[in-house]
Amino acid sequence: MEDGGGERERLTLVARKPCFGLPTACPKSLPVYIYLRFSKIPFSLEFNLIHPDSDQIPFVESGDYVAYNNEKGGVIPNLKEDGIVDLDSEVSGIPEWVSIKAMVESWLADAVMYELWVGCDGKSAQKIYYSDLPWPIGKILYFKQVLVVKQLLGITSDNAERREEEIYSRAALAYGALSSRLGEQSFFFDNRPTSLDAAFLGHVLFVLHALPETSVLRSKLLSHSNLVSYAENLKMEYVDANLSSSSVPQSDPSSSASKRGPSHWSSKPRSKAKREKTEEEKKFRRRAKYFLATQLVAILIFLSLLGGSSDAEVELGDDDDGLNYD
Amino acid sequence: METQPESDQESNQTESATSEPEDFEEFEEDDNDDNEDDFEQEEGEEAESMTAEARMRKNRAKMESLIMRLSKEQVPVRVHEVIIKGNTKTKGSLIESEVEAILRDATRFQQLLRAASVANARLQRLGVFDSVSITLDAGPPEVPGTANVVIEVSEAKNLLNGEIGIYTKPEARSWSLEGSLKLKNLFGFGDLWDGSVAYGWGQASEVSTGVSLPKFKVLATPMSARISLLSQDWLNFSSYREQVLGLSLGLLSSGNHDVSCNLSWRTLKDPSQMSSDTVRRQLGHNLFSALKYAFKVDRRDSLMRPTRGHAFIYTTQIGGLFPDIRSLRLIRQEFDLRYAIPLGFYRAALNFGISGGLVFPWGSGYMNTPSYLPERFFIGGNSSPVCSLRGPTSVLGFRARGLGPAEPRRPDNSDGGKPDDSGMDHIGGDLALTAFADLSFDLPLRALREAGIHGHVFACTGSLNKLTENAYKDFSFEKLRDSFRSSAGFGIIVPTKLFRMEVNYCYILKQNEHDQGKSGVKFSFSSPL
């Protein structure tokens, strides 16, 4: 609105908080940010820190116009349909483009959701979504979200391991296919950015920067060096370059990932150790349950015996001449 | 002393005297005082030698002289022991703590009788006994000049009570149906538990449970605690729905002062996805911990139709005391002043009142932070300002939340838009002021007068302004003066036992662009509670 020469009012993207060196650390908001960056439209970035369980975020607003995440398939399709910005006009008819995009938005999105909420220890999720909420609310919402994610991914205590394998293997397949499709190009199609690049770049940046080093998904991604260099190059060109013009804080001292250079990606997969730990945990939980049950039974027996003996005392007491009912 | 053994026997004989329906003032004030004579049998042995008639005459003479003495002289007596009977569940120490002090303070017989009736009333007020009877008995013979007090309580048989009622809530602009279950004395401490469910037509529903404890042992004042889950729907007015899970503790409630603290988790959501910019920015979760102090004085002669007296309420609330700095921080002040002057003819009275409120955030960057949306002031609705003392909330003639700053909602591009949808969100204000003047009078028809139906003529005005987010820099006296909307009208008031119904014709004298005031006939319901 205050910019001269713009017929349209200034665009504002409301997303989740920035951390780990990323302008916004939420895996749903980052692709939208990158898409707007690709389109070279000026926009301002604002953050919503108190509504982690909302599916309306991220949203884009401009004057009276609002494009929510949960309408018409997402913010990007919304922006395309409403004529604000459309980078896919020439590729959206290509079947390969559509199927690669579908693979990124289903298999890879599921893998990130699993890794963020179930696979890793949850510290990244807590930092991104709940670090600005008061502690009791943050904790309760976090546990609620873990349950929701497990429901969405169809994970139960019986099939947990099987589902995990399935999710990781699909992610690995997707990475392999994307790596061979990309080769040494800068973009996937037509040598220019499309929403597919926005979605995939958002995914890769999130996995590399926001997930911990012990993440299995991260280690699978690191095995494809062309994908990693694709992400780094595009990040330098589109994300880091204009950081000063938007309202993103430049340094995040709490994130150690921002100091690492491109050749220093390290991963420490603990897949085997993790599986053993899960079994140990299960054994421990079973034993703890038996222990607690035994304690409870002992207490109940004790109380019933004690209750019996105290009844006997009261009967004796009635023989006394007690006027005092205190 | 010589009189002591006499007074002993006389106090025994008092028991038999009071069982007769004498016109003896001190005994008549206690309906439940059941004075028995435990030692009548001893008396009987002495008098066996006389004939029945002579015995009666002698007793009556003794009684009359005793009554003369008691009414004219100060008979010294003190309490030796307080005996409690009948409490199977209630802790004896609770009963003792309620009554012991005042009984022990009595040094004269008349004081003791008065203390006994006060003790009776206090025990009844606990609400956990079906009946209470206090008997004054003679003390042990070896300790002359004393009396024993025997308190016999009958605990409520039905621990569980249920209630269903229909109430009005002025803010919600609708009726609410409330059902509650009460449990008395579950743990023997005089504790009262209650669980209630309230449902207001489409707008507010609440499930809550609470406990109240009387003054006892470590508790210097009666305390109460309440957990509630409240859900309020403001989609039509401000495009948001609020859910509150709260715990509130009443810490001090004595005389005019009331201190309570509140810890609640508040969530704002917008399922309609049509909210304006201000509302959209505030959607989400917040922790609100506040300490609230209220001072209340109400000296009016009636709540439904005040004709003389004054009332003043001042409330202050400080939020953000939870140790977590991310909880909501604000200060909210509210006051109500009412005054009623009788005019002497047709039972007419002039009522006028002024209410005001201010809410402001505190903490770092408080000048730029907006105030929390549900804690702002909203003016509107059809509740009468005469009897309700709820702060600056009503100017007759305006729809609920219909007065004050408003912002455009997201434009509705679909074909089927709601016909009465104004397309504006009312977002409330930080500084609110309302004032009214009301002249009420009896109607000429006798039938109406007897039913309590009367008429009134009124004028009200109100203003609502935003001060936060640096808006206070542009604020001036002229702006405040221009922001006052006003209405006037006349109507008929029908007071019933539960609520006050009014049929008014309101004429809007001044309203601003996006206000929702409409001249016409309006019904209004208010409850003085």
Mutate to test the interface with B, among A57, A66, A141 (most CBs of B within 10 A): A66
Nearest CA distance, B10 vs chain A (angstrom): 25
Query: B148 and B187 share a domain?
Result: no
More confident residue, B470 or B9: B470
Residue with structure tokens 């009556």? B60
* A68 contact residues in B (CB cutoff 8 A): 273
Query: B219 and B243 share a domain?
Result: yes
Task: Summarize the confidence of residues B397-403 as an average pLDDT.
Answer: 89
Per the CB < 8 Å rule, is B287 touching A137?
A: yes
Domain membership flag for residue A311: no
* A65 contact residues in B (CB cutoff 8 A): 410-411
Q: Tell me, what's the pLDDT at A257?
A: 38
Distances in Å between the alpha carbon of B340 and those of A71, B301, B384?
56, 9, 15
C-alpha span between B382 and B393 (Å, rounded): 10
Query: B360 and B477 share a domain?
Result: yes
* A61 contact residues in B (CB cutoff 8 A): 277, 280
Task: Please write the tens of the pLDDT for every residue from B300-352.
Answer: 988 888 889 999 999 999 998 877 778 889 999 999 999 999 998 888 999 99
Using a pLDDT cut of 90, give the percent of chain B over it: 29
Q: How many residues are there in chain B?
A: 529
C-alpha span between B521 and B454 (Å, rounded): 17
Give the contacts of B495 (CB within 8 A, at least 6 positions apart): B304, B305, B452, B453, B501
Name the residue of chain A whose CA is nearest to B95's CA: A326
Q: Tell me, what's the pLDDT at A173?
A: 94
Task: Please write the tens of the pLDDT for every residue from B167-186.
Answer: 654 444 455 678 888 888 77
Domain membership flag for residue B30: no
Q: Tell me, what's the pLDDT at B90?
A: 81
Select the residue of B87, B285, B408 nearest A137 (Cβ to Cβ): B285
Q: Which DSSP string do the residues of B259-302 spell out, in sequence order? A: EEEEEEEEEEE-TT----HHHHHH-EEEEEEEEEEEEEEE--S-
* B408 contact residues in A (CB cutoff 8 A): 64
* A54 contact residues in B (CB cutoff 8 A): 269, 283-284
Query: B146 and B167 share a domain?
Result: no
Packing angle, helices A160-182 and A95-103, rounded to 10: 140
Nearest CA distance, B401 vs chain A (angstrom): 22
Domain membership flag for residue A194: yes
Domain membership flag for residue B34: no
Q: Per-residue confidence of chain A (326 residues) as pLDDT tens digits?
A: 334 334 457 899 999 999 999 999 999 999 999 999 999 889 999 999 999 999 999 999 988 889 999 988 899 999 998 888 888 888 888 999 999 999 999 999 999 999 999 988 889 999 999 998 988 899 999 999 999 999 999 999 999 999 999 999 999 999 999 999 998 888 888 888 999 999 999 999 999 999 999 999 999 999 999 999 999 999 998 888 765 444 444 333 333 333 344 445 666 555 555 555 667 888 888 888 888 888 888 888 787 777 655 544 444 444 444 443 33
More confident residue, B159 or B193: B193
Per the CB < 8 Å rule, is B92 touching A326?
A: yes
Give the contacts of A60 (CB within 8 A, at least 6 positions apart): A11, A12, A13, A14, A32, A36, A43, A66, A67, A75, A78, A79, A84
Domain membership flag for residue B416: no
pTM for this structure? 0.74
Query: B149 and B187 share a domain?
Result: no
Per the CB < 8 Å rule, is B322 touching A134?
A: yes
Q: Tell me, what's the pLDDT at A204?
A: 94
* Per-residue tokens: B459: 């004028």
Domain count, chain B: 2
SS3 content of chain A, % helix, strand, coil (to 5): 55, 5, 40
Domain membership flag for residue B263: yes
Domain membership flag for residue B44: no
Query: B184 and B139 share a domain?
Result: no
B155, B172, B201 - which closes a domain: B155
Q: Which amino acid is at A293?
A: A
Domain membership flag for residue B492: yes
Q: Tell me, what's the pLDDT at A255?
A: 36
* A13 contact residues in B (CB cutoff 8 A): none
Query: B285 and B195 share a domain?
Result: yes
Query: B107 and B189 share a domain?
Result: no
* B411 contact residues in A (CB cutoff 8 A): 64-65
Per the CB < 8 Å rule, is A134 touching B408?
A: no
Please give the sequence-ordered ranges of beta strands (E in DSSP) within chain A, or none if there are none.
Answer: 11-15, 43-47, 59-62, 65-67
Q: What is the CATH number of the domain that holds B132?
A: 3.10.20.310
Residue B504's nearest CA partner among B387, B379, B355, B384 is B384
Question: What interface predicted TM-score (ipTM) does this complex get?
Answer: 0.73
C-alpha span between B524 and B529 (Å, rounded): 15
- Distance from the Cα of residue B392 to its chain's centroid: 19
Select the residue of A64, A70, A136 nearest B411 (Cβ to Cβ): A64
Query: B480 and B380 share a domain?
Result: yes
More confident residue, B203 or A69: A69
Phi-psi domain of B230 (left: phi exceeds 0; alpha: psi -120 through 50; beta: other): beta
Per the CB < 8 Å rule, is A68 touching B87?
A: no
Query: What's the domain range around B407?
Result: 160-411+421-526
Domain count, chain A: 1
Task: Summarize the confidence of residues B133-148 as an average pLDDT.
Answer: 84
Task: Please write the tens of the pLDDT for every residue from B20-52.
Answer: 434 443 443 344 444 444 444 444 455 555 688
Q: Is the link from the previous residue into B408 a cis peptide, with omega within 30 of 0?
A: no
Domain membership flag for residue A121: yes
Domain membership flag for residue A142: yes
Q: What is the CATH number of the domain that holds A158?
A: 1.20.1050
C-alpha span between B431 and B428 (Å, rounded): 9
Domain membership flag for residue A250: no
* B86 contact residues in A (CB cutoff 8 A): 325
Distances in Å between the alpha carbon of A39 and those of A314, B176, B375?
86, 53, 41
pLDDT band for position B528 (cuts 50, 70, 90): low
Let me know the angle formed at the C-alpha of A197 by A191 and A201, rounded to the nearest 5 degrees.
130
Per the CB < 8 Å rule, is A56 touching B273?
A: yes
Q: Tell me, what's the pLDDT at B5?
A: 41
User: What is the helix (H) or strand (E) element at residue B85, kind and residue range?
Assistant: strand B78-85
C-alpha span between B233 and B285 (Å, rounded): 16
Query: B256 and B311 share a domain?
Result: yes
B121, B136, B155 - which closes a domain: B155
DSSP lists the bridge partners of residue B355 as B336, B434
Query: B136 and B166 share a domain?
Result: no
Domain membership flag for residue A215: yes
C-alpha span between A37 and A85 (Å, rounded): 11
Q: Tell me, what's the pLDDT at B20?
A: 41
Per the CB < 8 Å rule, is A325 touching B324?
A: no
Q: Tell me, what's the pLDDT at B77?
A: 82
User: What is the helix (H) or strand (E) element at residue B230, kind and residue range?
Assistant: strand B223-233
Question: Do A296 and A302 contact (CB within 8 A), yes or no?
Answer: no
Query: What's the domain range around A111?
Result: 90-225
Nearest CA distance, B161 vs chain A (angstrom): 27
C-alpha span between B523 and B501 (Å, rounded): 7
B133, B155, B177 - which closes a domain: B155
Q: What is the CATH number of the domain that holds B344?
A: 2.40.160.50
Number of CB pairs, chain A paired with chain B, less than 8 A apart? 58
C-alpha span between B368 and B327 (Å, rounded): 17
Task: Please write the tens of the pLDDT for every residue from B47-77.
Answer: 555 688 989 999 999 989 888 877 777 778 8
Q: Which amino acid is at B292?
A: K
